[in-house]
């Protein structure tokens, strides 16, 4: 299992969770409120957490291998860039756990 996390600055992290999860639930299972969101991308799991005081969106992804993690990176970065209207933004992924 590979676990990675990223944090991005946003004025309204709870609103970003709602927008992302409402969008993703059209294709994959998603549960959410304005504080936390859980999306099962099928290749892996994504958990969003709003850190309102810090104006930060915390993103945690879990996947079995680099291929699954790579697919989630692509989907998340594409959607977050579009929703935040910043195509140059890259998510600063930090690996927490790797296989082995």
* pLDDT computed for residue 100 by the predictor: 59
| Pair of tokens at residue 56 | 């930060």
d(CA 15, CA 33): 9
User: Which residues, given as ranges, of the chain have pLDDT below 70?
Assistant: 99-100
* pLDDT computed for residue 99 by the predictor: 65
d(CA 43, CA 92): 20
Q: How would you label 65-76 residue by residue, b for 16+ Cβ within 10 Å and e otherwise?
A: eeebbebbbebb
* pLDDT computed for residue 17 by the predictor: 96
DSSP letter at 3 equals E
Which residue from 77, 85, 15, 82 is spatially nearest to 46, judged by alpha carbons? 77
């Amino acid at each position: 299992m590979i676990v990675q996390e990223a944090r991005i600055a946003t004025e309204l992290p709870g609103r970003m969770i709602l927008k992302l999860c409402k969008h993703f639930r059209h294709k994959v299972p998603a549960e959410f409120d304005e504080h936390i969101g859980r999306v099962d991308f099928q290749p892996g799991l994504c958990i969003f957490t709003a850190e309102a005081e810090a104006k930060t969106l915390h993103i945690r992804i879990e996947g079995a291998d680099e291929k699954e993690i790579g697919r989630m990176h692509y989907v998340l970065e594409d959607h977050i860039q579009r929703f935040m209207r910043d195509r140059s933004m890259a998510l600063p992924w930090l690996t927490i756990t790797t296989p082995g």
